[in-house]
Amino acid sequence: MKKIRTIEAPIATLKRLRVCAYVRVSTNQAEQHDSLSAQVEHYSNHIKNNPTWEFSGIYVDEGISGKGRAKRPDFMRMVKDAENKKFDLIITKSISRFARNTHDCLETVRKLKTIGIGVQFEKESINSLTAESELMLSILSSVAEEELNSISQNMHWAYQRRFKQGKVMINTKRFLGYDKDKNGDLIINEEQAAIVRRIFKDYLSGLGISLIAKGLDGIKTISGKDKWAESTVRDIIKNEKYVGDALLQKTITKDFKKKRNKGEVPMYYVKNSHPAIISREDFEKAQVLMVERAKSKGNVEGNREKYLNRYAFTHTIECGHCGKTYKRHIDNCGNVAEAVCWVCSSYIIGRKISCNVGRIKEETIKGLFVRVFNRLYTYRTRLLGDYKAKLEREKFMEFDQERIVKLDEEIEILIQQERTLFFIEENVLKAEHEKLVVRLTQLQTERTTWMAETANQDSRIARTLELEAIIDSQGGKLLEFSEDLYTAIIEKIVVKERTTLEFHLKNGLRFEEHYTLKRGCDLF
């Protein structure tokens, strides 16, 4: 009799998905550290408790902004591990935690998608491997980026209000000589203050900055280094905070980069704002001594940056034909006919082959500026008042809040339409999806333009108010050229023709000035 034995099929074992998580907080504060620990614990348990997932680690960036990926080391490590196929899926809290830069977000997601690795955003319920993710990510990451810009702008205005009220904000962790008490007020750190006093004493006794710096080697700098740079010593001697004063808004942030304030925004000087380490008499003696020593070396301002731009017109005159800057040139050097001129740099290199605008006498430029200023002074009420009123009208008529509301409404409609597309045939879906992406791009461009124009209008209005104050403080017409007034008022000069110069004021106003060429002295 036949015997039949059943051989059971082996139970199929499903390959588990290798999953990692990315978490980030943007400050090092204690409460944020607690949040980070909670996120790490949450995602570790979340991944390990899913039977279809295999835990592949947590990538963590702490105290780092999400604006750019280059400054997030663990984010970059995660992308590299993805390229090496160390996991299959990344889970993260939200788009704003993953990246607040639209370009970075979409570029990274697309890159990971091409190698079969998805990103799952929990808050927005988006998985980058799904068909609908591209449009949704584009919209939501743009919103996250706009949110960051809005926060930055709000902080800027908050700082501006504090500056105007004379409230001093100093990071004492990077500033020698002071600590903060429980109320946030500056108090003297006597151990560090002794170093500051030593520097001033040595300088006033005749020692040079390089010798002072060498004498401090072995003593820790505020950043913990054993070797002192000459620039560090020089900055301490020049810093008004050691006499108890504070010059606010010395630096500004532009395009997310910190730079020295060269007149782009107002500065505020607060006298006796905090306890002094150096007496006012010694501080002023040190400043006079620094200027005298600088003069002996040919640096009339006692400042290397000003030495490099030691002439009033350096980097401010632009050729209207080739776009190059004008450089200082001396004609007939050593002769009785010697004259200082400004010449297009491309003309100097290639002569008339490159640019044939020709040279302009420095005295002519100075005279034309005096004429511009005196016209502003005489007709300031009409010129500046009408211009300011025009800017206000444009701000509230052309760029009103209703436009941004309408843009947001249309974006919401697009999102709803995009969701509906999933019930339509694939060939129709593709065509409609492309239309939605085109329209979304148009909306984003319009929104960006609106925001930029509004900020530009605010800046011009503030500049006009500042210009009014400068002109009123002058108390009369100019009799001769003033370098300080030129620097405060003029953004640049565009040479349209050899005898036609266009003066661009920092508030956006422009004045076209003409003169007649004449041997010896031009007529204007």
442 and 430 together in one domain: yes
Question: DSSP secondary-structure letter at 216?
Answer: T
Residue with tokens 């006498």: 361
386 and 487 together in one domain: yes
pLDDT of residue 67: 52
Residue 383 lies in a domain: yes
Contacts 24+ apart (CB under 8 A), 154-159: 156/253, 159/249
185 and 107 together in one domain: no
Confidence tier at 89 by pLDDT (50, 70, 90): very high
139 and 234 together in one domain: no
Helix or strand run (H / E) with residue 61: strand 53-62
137 and 236 together in one domain: no
169 Rama sector, left if φ>0, alpha if ψ -120 to 50, beta otherwise: beta
22 and 147 together in one domain: yes
Q: What percent of the chain is modeled with pLDDT above 70?
A: 63
103 and 55 together in one domain: yes
pLDDT of residue 144: 47
- Indicate if the pLDDT at residue 399 is higher than 60: no
pLDDT, mean of residues 485-507: 90
| pLDDT tens per residue, range 177-236 | 888 888 778 888 899 889 999 999 888 877 788 888 888 888 888 888 888 888 889 989
pLDDT of residue 79: 92
| pLDDT tens per residue, range 271-300 | 777 888 999 888 888 888 888 777 665 555
Average pLDDT of the chain is 75
pLDDT of residue 306: 46
pLDDT, mean of residues 300-326: 71
3-state secondary structure 355-372: CCCCCEEHHHHHHHHHHH
CATH number at residue 188: 3.90.1750.20
CATH number at residue 66: 3.40.50.1390
Contact (CB, 8 A) for 33 and 62:
yes
Residue 163 lies in a domain: no
10 Å Cβ neighbour count for 144? 21
Residue 205 lies in a domain: yes
Q: Which domain holds residue 280?
A: 172-308
89 and 22 together in one domain: yes
3-state secondary structure 408-454: HHHHHHHHHHHHHHHHCCHHHHHHHHHHHHHHHHHHHHHHHHHHHHH
Contact (CB, 8 A) for 56 and 62:
no
Amino acid at residue number 10: P
463 and 479 together in one domain: yes
Residue 164 lies in a domain: no
177 and 294 together in one domain: yes
From the list 174, 139, 72, the residue with the least C-alpha distance to 418 is 139
As for how many domains the chain has, the answer is 4
10 Å Cβ neighbour count for 137? 22
| pLDDT tens per residue, range 9-23 | 554 456 789 999 999
391 and 468 together in one domain: yes
Residue 510 lies in a domain: no
Distance CA 401, CA 497 (A): 42
206 and 130 together in one domain: no
| pLDDT tens per residue, range 38-87 | 888 899 999 999 999 999 999 998 765 545 555 688 999 999 999 999 99
Domain boundary residue, one of 289, 308, 327? 308
469 or 317, higher pLDDT? 317
Distance CA 501, CA 506 (A): 16
Q: Tell me the C-alpha to C-alpha distance, in Å, between residue 97 and each of 23, 93, 149, 488, 490.
A: 7, 6, 15, 42, 43
Residue 117 lies in a domain: yes
pLDDT, mean of residues 145-155: 49
- Indicate if the pLDDT at residue 429 is higher than 60: no
| pLDDT tens per residue, range 328-371 | 887 766 566 678 889 888 776 555 556 777 789 999 999 999 99
Distance CA 307, CA 303 (A): 6
